[in-house]
Amino acid sequence: MTATFETPIETTVSLTIDGKIVEVPAGTSIHKACESAGIDTPTLCWAENLTPVSVCRVCVVEVEGQRALAPSCARAAEEDMVVETDSDRVRHSRKMVLEFLGSGVDLDQAPELQKWMEHYGSDTSRYDQYELPALKMGEAPKIQDNLYIRDYDRCVLCYKCVEACGDDAQHTYAIAVSGRGFDARISTEFDVTLPDSACVYCGNCIAVCPTGAIQFKTEYDLRGADNWRPDEQEVTRTVCSYCGVGCNLELHTQDDKIVKVTSPADHSVTSGMLCIKGRFGWQYVQPLDAPTRKH
Amino acid sequence: MADLYISDEMADDAEIAAVDAALGGRFVVVRESERFVRAGTSKRHDHRHLLLPALHALQNAKGWISPGGLNHVCETLQVPPAEAYGVATFYDLFRTDEPTQAGDVTHVCVDAACQIAGSGKRIAALRAQSINVHESPCLGQCERANASTGEVAEFVQGVGGPDRVEADERPYELFHQKGDESLRLLKRIGVVDPTSLASYRAHGGYDALTAAMAMGADAVCTAVADSGLSGRGGAAFPTGIKWRAVAAEQGRPKHVVANCDESEPGTFKDRVVMENDPFAVIEALTIAGFATGAENGWIYIRGEYPLATARLQNAINQALEAGLLGDDAAGSGHRFTIEIRRGAGAYICGEETALFASLEGFRGEPRSKPPFPTTHGLFQEPTAINNPETLLNVLDIVQIGADGYRSRGTDRSPGTKLLCLSGRVARPGVYEVEFGTTLGEVLELAGGLTGSGELRAVLMGGAAGSFVDGSYLDMPITLEHARERGTTLGSGVVMAFTDEIDMVDILVRISQFFRDESCGQCVPCRIGCVRQHETMVVLQQKGSLTPDRRQLVDDISQVMVDASICGFGHTATNAINSAIELGIVPGVPS
Ligand SMILES: Cc1cc2nc3c(=O)[nH]c(=O)nc-3n(C[C@H](O)[C@H](O)[C@H](O)COP(=O)(O)O)c2cc1C
Ligand code: SF4
Ligand code: SF4
Ligand code: SF4
Ligand code: FES
Ligand code: FES
């Protein structure tokens, strides 16, 4: 038979996930393979538009023949692999990872994680009994300008903001992980304020943060006033009017006011990333400090 | 790197001079106000591997890394300041806040061997004299810990002057096998002049390299594989397989790395070798380079080993001068050079992928494997990384052949092993024993027990290893027997505890060690280590654990073993679990 160049050969691998045979293109992650088999997997440090760092370990699965569990977000599916996503070991690890996080980080604004904690029976009260200083940093949120705030009591150290600010999108490197072990923190050099740092206010760190540790000042203020109502918000898709690149914007409005701006993570131009103009440059529509009315 | 944002803070003359000296004047700092792009982001990593030496220079110049000093380094090496700060704050030997007490800092070890020799008292005494003390994890001088004299391990971090270990100024008297005919790895210790190439040669030095070159690279790899040599850094991976894999890689350049980070609590064998027979490490690394076809040799040595560092550097200099290193190393027609890099106080940097990250100028965070170092090692290039003890074995293998080598030891653990005897033994020190010697014989070799004379437990393999009790004294020291009986040889630690010692205090300290040393990258280990430590502190305070807390010990351990990224998290609960299983922890049922 002669090979034809017009039809590239799509290599696939077939593996067994929870007893079901699943066929996926070679190179697909186990996580994606699970998704195609209709199995929901928790993720935290993984995102479509970022390089996997595999640090949170909430997505682990059991791969037959391997001693340790594997991070499904980064491990590629292989031919004849046998994967368990709901074994005792997997459930235990997911439960404990979430429990550890919940015991030390404020996850109030991470409903997805809370759902999974409930699913796996994570019980953070097991740690309340310690008569030792609480794990939480108890740090005041960093409010250094009127564009966005950083509240590291909510930070799970997923590295997403660092990736977005650095190699994966912005190449600005304004923030990095500092310290070591439990003292590790996301920080600028010497913890200088954002206006004193390399930050260009693209807000891409906000876009990727899964826990609300970094958020629009508008959102922060509304939450503080107990007036953040995401269910009632309208999302309008439009194109940024500043330059010819054509970034798609999603304007989130509440009570006819823009409260935050995002871009779709799967958009071919932006991959969810914007610059300061698209992200924050809407003052010509509405001044930044416009008082927001509670109705 | 595209335009970096660097704040207005400037380095002072002392800082600039120190950095320039450390970087060998290789750079012209470009100061431009207008935006310019050097060569895209690919240039970003060009000089980054010089970050650690530059940070050492700043720390030494002023006793801390100031914003101005860091700016100077960032501008010179084109590293973003936030990232450089992230690197500086990763290491125990670097400070990023101005110290309240200026001058040298005395690091005093608080890990087990020193803990039971009275490091608490020593620290109090030093502080009473207003000496600036930093409590340090194991300093790799555990054999110096002596309960009767109160001596414990210390290291002085210099400011404006060199780092030093005061004990190094006295002759080394803690090697007890000097001149023993049966020694292979330690035969030159105490016999050869460690500062002289001529002396090294007079004691058989460089005969192995000559033999290796006569055999050819391929035959060396075969001999190493046939000898059954396995890694002595803890994981016992077959060295022959590793070398063959790197030799087969077509990618260039290739690297061989001597992992001299030696930070596993209780381990000091590599230090004794590097200080007393440094040319042997250089010769063995040269053979590794020859066998694998690597042109770059690296020595990554922990920052607390100033004497070993100086001796190795001197050995490299003399070898270069004699043409044993360089463009045509020892007339092999093969270019091979060796560069030394100092760590800065981070146990995790002994993990091979963390070591690469650290050497490259990034935070010492382990990387996921696969890919493995043999294909994606240092700078993502093919790399063979070995412990110095592993390398030392090769000197014998190429001279006496694989069969000759196998005449000692057991079939599955051929050869000899360096053991680090410490704790309550009469003659602590490094001992070379034939595989198959029993644990009891080893303790006798070190003069038997001191303290109460009644054995409570022996810590095998370090803090990442496990405790065994008196019922293991008949266990032959081999990889297979250790595995069979659920323990490990790890890095060769044999630390004895007698029954007057409060084991809970020891476990609290071990858990504190892991809490302090976790890189913090993955959740199971970052938070698990803290929770484990808290449990041990509660045990210490209350004298027992409630059933809930007892359950938590197992739950924490399970997730760390199953879901952590690297060997640190996988082993950080071993010692505590083994102690509980042995039933030697009062208040905790096994
Ligand atoms: C937390 C951790 C620390 C380690 N520290 C060291 C070390 O100080 N020295 C060393 O040789 N290997 C150390 N290792 C093992 C290395 O990762 C690697 O396996 C070893 O250097 C390979 O050399 P070998 O095959 O000659 O043993 C460490 C591993 C882990 C997980
Ligand atoms: S706003 Fe943009 S430049 Fe500023 S820290 Fe976030 S990602 Fe980096
Ligand atoms: S601030 Fe948000 S994105 Fe950044 S590491 Fe923390 S949780 Fe992740
Ligand atoms: S197991 Fe611990 S040391 Fe290893 S990567 Fe995870 S946090 Fe870092
Ligand atoms: S989502 Fe896979 S490790 Fe974080
Ligand atoms: S130097 Fe103190 S325990 Fe090793």
pLDDT at A6: 57
Handedness of CA B449, B453, B454, B457 (dihedral sign): negative
B421 and B396 belong to one structural domain: no
* Chain B from 41 to 80: CB within 8 A of any A CB: 41, 67, 70, 80
B397 and B313 belong to one structural domain: yes
Nearest Cα of chain A lies from the Cα of B574 at a distance, in angstroms, of 15
CB-count exposure of residue B324 (10 Å: 0-12, 13-18, 19+) = buried
- Chain A environment of B83 (Cβ under 8 Å): 166, 173, 176
Q: Who lines ligand 6 at CB under 6 A?
A: B 109, 111-114, 138-142, 145, 153, 265-266
Query: Of A188, A208, A193, A205, whose CA–CA distance to A276 is shortest?
Result: A205
- Please identify which residue in the block is written with the tokens 């990736």: A163
pLDDT at B251: 87
Whether B185 is covered by a domain: the verdict is no
pLDDT at A8: 57
Query: Of B567, B575, B443, whose CA–CA distance to B513 is shortest?
Result: B575
Q: What is the mean pLDDT of residues A153-168?
A: 96
Q: Return the ligand number nearest the Cα of A160.
A: 3
Whether B422 is covered by a domain: the verdict is yes
Query: Of B506, B507, B502, B523, whose CA–CA distance to B565 is shortest?
Result: B523
Give me the phi and psi of A14, to 5 degrees please.
-120, 135
Nearest residue of chain A to residue B67 (CA atoms): A190
Of B522, B538, B559, the CB nearest to A130: B538
Q: Return the ligand number nearest the Cα of A171.
A: 2
Q: Return the ligand number nearest the Cα of B145.
A: 6
Q: Are B533 and B512 in contact (CB under 8 A)?
A: yes
Whether B94 is covered by a domain: the verdict is no
Kindly state if the Cβ of A144 falls inside 6 Å of ligand 2.
no
- Chain B environment of A172 (Cβ under 8 Å): 5
Instruction: For residue B532, give both structure tokens.
Output: 């484990």
pLDDT at A137: 63
- Chain A environment of B529 (Cβ under 8 Å): 181-182
Q: Are B503 and B586 in contact (CB under 8 A)?
A: yes
The closest residue, in CA terms, to atom 1 on ligand 4 is B569
Cis previous bond, B253, omega within 30: yes
Handedness of CA A239, A240, A242, A246 (dihedral sign): negative
CB-count exposure of residue A87 (10 Å: 0-12, 13-18, 19+) = middle
Q: Are B511 and B576 in contact (CB under 8 A)?
A: yes
CA dist A284 and A108 (Å) reads 33
pLDDT at B369: 86
B238 and B299 belong to one structural domain: yes
- B231 Cα–ligand 1 center, Å: 9
Q: Calculate the dihedral angle through the C-alpha atoms of B269, B275, B277, B279, rounding to the nearest 10 degrees.
A: 120
pLDDT at A286: 83
Cβ–Cβ contact A29 with B under 8 A: no
pLDDT at A130: 62
CB burial string B5-21: b at 16+ within 10 A, e below: bbbebebeeebbebbbe
ipTM value, please give it.
Answer: 0.93
pLDDT at B37: 40
Cβ–Cβ contact A139 with B under 8 A: no
Question: Among residues of chain A, what percentage have pLDDT more than 90?
Answer: 85
DSSP class of residue B523 equals H
Give me the phi and psi of B284, to 5 degrees please.
-65, -40
Pairing of strands B105-109, B133-136: parallel
pLDDT at A283: 86
Last-in-domain residue among B355, B386, B406: B406
Residue of B568, B570, B571, B574 to mutate, ligand 4, most atoms within 8 A of C-beta: B568
Interface test with A, best of B64, B71, B562 (most A CBs within 10 A): B562
Domain containing B163: what range?
105-169
B496 alpha-carbon distance from chain centroid: 21
B566 and B421 belong to one structural domain: no
B119 and B72 belong to one structural domain: no
B515 and B374 belong to one structural domain: no
pLDDT at B3: 74
CA dist B344 and B539 (Å) reads 33
Question: How many domains does one find in chain B?
Answer: 5
B338 and B222 belong to one structural domain: yes
Q: What is the CATH number of the domain that holds B533?
A: 1.20.1440.230
Q: Are B479 and B232 in contact (CB under 8 A)?
A: no
Q: Calculate the dihedral angle through the C-alpha atoms of A216, A221, A222, A224, rounding to the nearest 10 degrees.
A: 130
Q: Which residues contact B462 (CB under 8 A, 6 or more apart)?
A: B234, B264, B265, B266, B267, B490, B491, B493
Last-in-domain residue among B362, B385, B406: B406
B376 and B243 belong to one structural domain: yes
Cβ–Cβ contact B557 with A under 8 A: no
Q: Are B277 and B194 in contact (CB under 8 A)?
A: yes
B268 and B361 belong to one structural domain: yes
B317 and B448 belong to one structural domain: no
- Residue B10 sits at the vertex; the CA angle it makes with B7 and B14, to the nearest 5 degrees, is 150
CB contacts < 8 A, A to B, total 160
CA dist B566 and B351 (Å) reads 8
Whether B274 is covered by a domain: the verdict is yes
DSSP class of residue B138 equals -
B216 and B355 belong to one structural domain: yes
CA dist B468 and B444 (Å) reads 17
B425 and B464 belong to one structural domain: yes
CA dist B86 and B75 (Å) reads 16
Last-in-domain residue among B40, B59, B88: B88
Interface test with A, best of B527, B549, B552 (most A CBs within 10 A): B527
The closest residue, in CA terms, to atom 7 on ligand 2 is A165
pLDDT per residue as tens, chain B (590 positions): 457 899 999 999 999 999 999 998 666 555 444 333 443 344 445 789 999 999 999 999 999 999 999 999 999 999 999 999 999 999 999 999 999 999 999 999 999 999 999 999 999 999 999 999 999 999 999 999 999 999 999 999 999 999 999 999 999 999 999 989 999 999 999 999 999 999 999 999 999 999 999 999 999 999 999 999 999 999 999 999 999 999 999 988 999 999 999 999 999 999 999 999 999 999 999 999 999 999 999 999 999 999 999 999 999 999 999 999 999 999 998 899 999 999 999 999 999 999 999 999 999 999 988 899 999 999 999 999 999 999 999 999 999 999 999 999 999 999 999 999 999 999 999 999 999 999 999 999 999 999 999 999 999 999 999 999 999 999 999 999 999 999 999 999 999 999 999 999 999 999 999 999 999 999 999 999 999 999 999 999 999 999 999 999 999 999 999 999 999 999 999 999 999 999 999 888 87
Whether B564 is covered by a domain: the verdict is yes
Residue of A29, A48, A50, A57 to mutate, ligand 5, most atoms within 8 A of C-beta: A57
Kindly state if the Cβ of B569 falls inside 6 Å of ligand 4.
yes
Cis previous bond, B238, omega within 30: no
All domains of chain A, ordered by start, with CATH?
A: 11-127 (3.10.20.740), 142-285 (2.20.25.90)
Cβ–Cβ contact B5 with A under 8 A: yes
CA dist A108 and A47 (Å) reads 21
CA dist B375 and B380 (Å) reads 7
pLDDT tens digit sequence for A8-61? 567 999 999 999 999 999 999 999 999 999 999 999 999 999 999 999 999 999
Cβ–Cβ contact B82 with A under 8 A: yes
The end-to-end CA distance of chain B, in Å, is 57
How high is the mean pLDDT of chain A? 92
**E-strand spans in chain A?**
12-17, 20-25, 60-63, 70-71, 82-84, 142-143, 148-150, 176-178, 185-187, 214-216, 234-239, 248-254, 257-262
Cβ–Cβ contact B210 with A under 8 A: no
CA dist B490 and B460 (Å) reads 7
Q: What is the mean pLDDT of residues A56-79?
A: 97
